[in-house]
Amino acid sequence: MDFVMLDAPATDGKTPRSGTRILRVLVADDDPASRRFLADGLRSLGADPHACADGAAALAHARSDVFDLLLLDCRMPGGGARQILEALRSDPTAASSDSVAVATSAEVGPGDRQQLLAAGFGEVLQKPCDLRSLQRVLALVQAGGCEAPLLDDDAALVSTGDARTMHALRGLLREELASLCGELDRLGADPGGFAERLHRLRSSCGFCGAAALSAQVIALQQRLAQGQPVAPLPVQRFREALLATLDALEPSD
């Protein structure tokens, strides 16, 4: 019997896509109930999930197949989320070496989330979760697509609770981005300072529904977490998303 999905968020008949492709998601979890819920939930949201029950199988699938998103449980036989991601990121021949990765866990203790984000995960999903949480995880990938909105009002309202709070936080984000514009060149030479600034900005983007900018923040965070240099192209993409978001936040007449 399939799981019954209650209170599914409205999707307007649209399937999660990156460009024109339905999103392919690898779900790795050794708990049968969690694995089934995640797969059924993703499928109900229009994604194409592929499930496995241990770390070795997850790594093999991610090496041989291209997935847009990896949902990896932190504790599995054969290797947990961190071990799998480390192996993939260090293997440029792996088909999913650059895929967005999300760590899943039933227990997220103090400091765990920050450590996982620093290890290169785009998000940490605590189980049990609901469909809205899965939808926000899918948005990490969708934000990188060409059709991603600069400002996602629906996502922002879910995070803030009401329009008044959303607009107030967007005003603060606009001030933050205006300040950041003049600091990018300096921060590019200061990886530690840049990482700290990105950490704060990522939280603001999440509350304000700044999807496109959030995707570029995550991409830079992953490079910095892996000890990679702040290359010109990723910074340029970040700058373009920042300027476009700043323009979208301009008060209307």
- State the pLDDT confidence band at 222, using cuts at 50, 70 and 90: confident
Return the closest-CA partner of residue 73 out of 102, 114, 115.
Answer: 102
pLDDT of residue 53: 95
What are the structure tokens assigned to 106, written together? Answer: 């039933």
* Residue 241 confidence (pLDDT) above 70: yes
What is the rounded distance in angstroms from the CA atom of residue 244 to the CA atom of residue 249? 9
Class for the domain spanning 17-142? alpha beta
What's the whole-number mean pLDDT along residues 225-250?
82
CA 3 to mean position of chain CA atoms: 25
Break the chain into its structural domains and give their ranges: 17-142, 153-248
What are the structure tokens assigned to 228, written together? Answer: 């990679």
What are the structure tokens assigned to 227, written together? Answer: 């000890």
Interior/surface letters 19-48, b for 16+ CB within 10 angstroms, e for the rest: eeeebbbbbbbbbeebbebbbbbbebbebe
What's the whole-number mean pLDDT along residues 46-64?
95
Predicted TM-score (pTM) of the model is: 0.56
- Most confident listed range (7-16, 105-114, 142-151): 105-114
What is the rounded distance in angstroms from the CA atom of residue 248 to the CA atom of residue 67? 31
* Per-residue pLDDT tens digits for 160-202: 899 999 999 999 999 999 999 888 888 878 888 898 999 889 9
**Window from 30-44, 91-105, 171-185 with minimum mean pLDDT:** 91-105
For 163, what's the count of Cα atoms within 13 Å in the CB-facing half-sphere? 0
How far apart, in Å, are the Cα atoms of 152 and each of 18, 90, 195, 240?
Answer: 16, 34, 24, 18
Running DSSP on this structure, what letter comes out for residue 82? H
pLDDT of residue 143: 52
What's the whole-number mean pLDDT along residues 53-64?
95
252 phi-psi bin (left φ>0, alpha ψ -120 to 50, beta other): beta
